[in-house]
Structure 1
Amino acid sequence: MITTVLLSFGALFLAELGDKSQLMALTFALRYRWWVVLGAIATASVAVNLIAVGVGHFLGAALPTELISLFAAATLILVGLWTLREVLPGRAAAEDSEEIPAQPTSRSAFLVVLSAFTLAELGDRTMFATMALASNKGWLAVWIGSVAGMVAAGALAIAVGVTVGKHIPERAIAVCSGLLFLYFGALTLLGTVTHLGSAAVAVAAAGLPVLAGIALIALRRRASATGGLRAAEEIPAAADQVQ
């Protein structure tokens, strides 16, 4: 059993390195508290790998991976748009401040990470790896090792995110996180509905965050121009009051 646990741990940990799920964990760690992200990832890992070993060992059936991937893409895109919405001009109390509106509650953040990570993992290559291991090895050992490997990879990404986040202003973190969520959502969506190669999908998916970034810059410039005009109008009025 120990050998199977170690084998599953190593397979899942290596499969997660550089994978979309690990990058998502890093992105969530930039946005939410690290223990909330880690707890949500651990919970999702327990559930997803339990499904995987059940399917691989007992059923031998396939999940509707395309439909699940579409839900995952929609979830990530919605999270990205909501994150960028918080840094739109006029949302913050002080436009010149580097602070953003208050962080969401731990409960809401947990649910966001849990749902996004679960949907992203269902039908992912790591789930199929777990199913393959469970088909000819003890399902309990495979489950324990897979959960540990997935959580360890997520914890590594979270540590990187927390370290990087300490040196970046919160507003910049919000913008980068929102754009990354949009990228992962577009990547998942294009990978599901198109038959392009991995490299082509990766390049094409960048179009959505690029467009969002351009729109955000345009809105900020417009807000700055409007603010400048208002300031210019207020100066003569103030001068008239002094006279």
Structure 2
Amino acid sequence: MEAFLISTGLVALAEMGDKTQLLALLLAAKFRKPVPIIFAILFSTIVNHALAALVGQWLTGLVSPDVMQWILAISFIAMGVWMLIPDKLDDESESVNRWQKYGVFATTFILFFLAEMGDKTQIATVALSARFDSLIPVVMGTTAGMMIANAPAVIIGDKMANRLPISLIHKIAAAIFFILGLAIIVESYIH
């Protein structure tokens, strides 16, 4: 349960103001069909984060537990730093126009999957999966976190998103990543 809850909370916070949340807003404004957009985000996230969690599991078998602890500690601290750098939507409207011929669901699925590649939340999923060595709860948690952040963005659009204290949310997420990284370091010295 710990893996699920931490994964959900971290990803929900990390996703606030992230480029995929901005993409969700763009898709909602472009298509004005929230149901297929939300389902496409859900399925895209499940596939993307399942692959990321598998990489995390694979990494735990590749290196010794001592080395993995240091990799995870550094990864979480680096994620904390990365959270303090605001994301921008790199002219995704061109991509939307290029893919829209495939329909709302396919366009959203493809663009969301591609935008999530190498994104903060995908890398966090790799690290969380390696940290907790628990594939299903981590994927369920990170997917829930993505939906907590993105479904409302699709439904209420940018009117409400502009009112959220994104900078504060990013600072809280960064602090949590820092704490996780430091906790791993402290834990390695205790054992």
Q: Distance in 2 between matches of 1:56 and 1:139?
A: 8
State whether residues 11 and 145 of structure 2, in contact with CA within 8 Å, keep that contact through their aligned partners in structure 1.
yes
The structure number with the bigger radius of gyration is 1
Seq. identity, %: 32
Structure 1 stretches of 4+ with a deviation exceeding 4 A read: 73-76
CA RMSD across the alignment: 2.8
State whether residues 15 and 126 of structure 1, in contact with CA within 8 Å, keep that contact through their aligned partners in structure 2.
yes
Please show how residues 66-81 of structure 1 align to structure 2 within 5 Å. 77-80=94-97
Higher relative contact order (CA 8 A, sep 6+): 2
Please show how residues 78-97 of structure 1 align to structure 2 within 5 Å. 78-80=95-97
Match of 2:104 in 1: 109
Q: Distance in 2 between matches of 1:128 and 1:162?
A: 26
Larger helix proportion of the pair: 2
| TM-score w.r.t. length of structure 2 | 0.61
Match of 1:158 in 2: 154
Please show how residues 1-243 of structure 1 align to structure 2 within 5 Å. 2-32=1-31, 33-59=33-59, 77-80=94-97, 108-137=103-132, 138-161=134-157
State whether residues 48 and 127 of structure 1, in contact with CA within 8 Å, keep that contact through their aligned partners in structure 2.
yes
Q: Distance in 1 between matches of 2:25 and 2:151?
A: 9
State whether residues 95 and 111 of structure 2, in contact with CA within 8 Å, keep that contact through their aligned partners in structure 1.
no
Return closer, same or farther for 1:159/1:74 CA change in 2, 3 Å cut-off.
closer
| TM-score w.r.t. length of structure 1 | 0.49
Q: 1:76 offset after TM fit, Å?
A: 5.2
Q: 1:57 offset after TM fit, Å?
A: 1.1
Q: Residues 87-124 of structure 1, C-alpha deviation per residue, up to 9 Å, x if partnerless?
A: xxxxxxxxxxxxxxxxx78x611111110000000111
Aligned residues: 131
Structure 2, unpaired ranges of 5+: 63-89, 161-191
